[in-house]
């Protein structure tokens, strides 16, 4: 229940961190907020030769809005995101999803870059990145590249990041003013990972729907974008019948696992129920205030 021995480095720049990753040739782990990695170390499920701590690189923590995008440094804390006026105004779906990430003391340390690079498919941020069409910037010895959510997440806890690459920035297209949104999640206890989670954004007016965005957590090895369900709403509009049809379609688009927490059938049913709830709540918010009242932190 204590970490095994490792070399420890806390470089002041990203380039020095990359040089350390290269030097250890895949045997080093990056330490971001540590809320997933340190438990793995304490249980000795992870035994890296070295930890490269990113917490002494201040240039990796920021929230910036420009040119229709919101850019977040990879080391931006979940707690900062939760209370950020820019995030509440331009990415209210991300702010709402953040309240489901662990508990407030976990969000004090946990980072958005760490959560995305850890790639737990039952976590909230990979799903939100998928729903909002976000992308990440990674830097390695050969320079920078940009990855879309669909290309970043490859399987359970597996991403397209190379062993010598660092996720440095997350870019979200700002949500249009008045967009409806909702994050719905079912878990056994508050703060747990989702058994099923649904992120929804609806752009529209009255019964017309210009764009629908839906993505899942907890129903497969990576977040699933529910394009078939989105298309029903974009084609048929925001009627009760279309919402119900989209929710039923959502359940057919996922192939969830059975495990100790829930059976595949139960997760499929939850996908239908939570998609319906998320859509109804998102639609009710269309045209609403830019900065919604969040459910309490906790």
Partner 1 sequence: MTVNGQPRQGLCEPRKLLVDFLREDLGLTGTHVGCEHGICGACTIFFNGEAARSCLMLAIQAAGAELGTVEGLMSDGKLHPMQEAFHEHHALQCGFCTPGMLLAALDLLRTNPEPTEAEIREGLAAVLCRCTGYQGIVKAVAAAAGTLRDAVETAPALLRHHPLP
> Nearest approach, Cβ of 9 to partner 1 (angstroms)?
9
Nearest to 89 by CA among 201, 212, 179: 179
Nearest to 78 by CA among 90, 65, 61, 64: 61
Residues whose CB is less than 8 angstroms from the CB of residue 24 and which lie 6 or more positions away in sequence, other chains included: 49, 50
The percent helix, strand, coil of the chain (3-state, each to 5) is 35, 25, 40
Nearer to partner 1, 51 or 152 (CB): 51
Nearer to partner 1, 102 or 197 (CB): 102
Please work out, in degrees rounded to the nearest 5, the angle formed at the alpha carbon of residue 110 by the alpha carbons of 139 and 37.
75
> Nearest approach, Cβ of 35 to partner 1 (angstroms)?
6
Nearer to partner 1, 43 or 156 (CB): 43
> Nearest approach, Cβ of 55 to partner 1 (angstroms)?
6
The encoded tokens of residue 289 equal 């205030």
> Nearest approach, Cβ of 284 to partner 1 (angstroms)?
21
> Nearest approach, Cβ of 40 to partner 1 (angstroms)?
9
Nearer to partner 1, 86 or 160 (CB): 86
Residues whose CB is less than 8 angstroms from the CB of residue 225 and which lie 6 or more positions away in sequence, other chains included: 130, 131, 150, 213, 214, 215
Binding site for partner 1 (CB under 8 A): 1-8, 10, 34-35, 38-39, 41-43, 51, 53, 55, 79-80, 83, 102-106, 108-109, 189-191, 295-298
Nearer to partner 1, 76 or 128 (CB): 76
């Amino acid at each position: 229940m204590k970490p095994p021995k490792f070399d420890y480095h806390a470089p002041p720049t990203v380039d020095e961190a990359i040089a350390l990753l290269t030097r250890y040739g895949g045997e080093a782990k990056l330490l971001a907020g540590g809320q997933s990695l340190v438990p793995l170390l304490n249980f000795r499920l992870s035994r890296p030769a070295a930890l490269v701590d990113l917490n002494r690189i201040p240039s990796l923590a920021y929230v910036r809005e420009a040119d229709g995008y919101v850019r977040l440094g990879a080391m931006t804390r979940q707690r900062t995101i939760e209370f950020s006026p820019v995030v509440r105004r331009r990415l209210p779906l991300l702010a709402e999803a953040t309240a489901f990430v662990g508990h407030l003391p976990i969000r004090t340390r946990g980072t958005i870059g760490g959560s995305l690079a850890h790639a737990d498919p039952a976590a909230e941020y990979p799903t939100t990145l998928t729903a909002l069409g976000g992308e990440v910037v990674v830097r390695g010895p050969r320079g920078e590249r940009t990855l879309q959510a669909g290309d970043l997440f490859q399987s359970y806890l597996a991403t397209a990041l190379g062993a010598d690459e660092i996720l440095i920035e997350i870019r979200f297209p700002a949500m249009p003013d008045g967009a409806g949104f909702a994050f719905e999640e079912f878990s056994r206890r508050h703060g747990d990972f989702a058994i099923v989670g649904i992120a929804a954004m609806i752009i529209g007016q009255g019964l017309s729907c210009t764009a629908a965005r839906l993505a899942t957590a907890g129903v497969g090895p990576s977040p699933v974008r529910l394009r078939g369900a989105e298309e029903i709403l974009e084609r048929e509009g925001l009627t009760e019948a279309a919402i119900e049809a989209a929710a039923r379609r959502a359940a057919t688009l996922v192939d969830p696992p059975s495990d100790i927490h829930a059976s595949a059938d139960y997760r499929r049913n939850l996908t239908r129920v939570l998609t319906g709830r998320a859509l109804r709540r998102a639609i009710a918010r269309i045209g609403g205030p830019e900065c919604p009242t969040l459910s309490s932190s906790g």
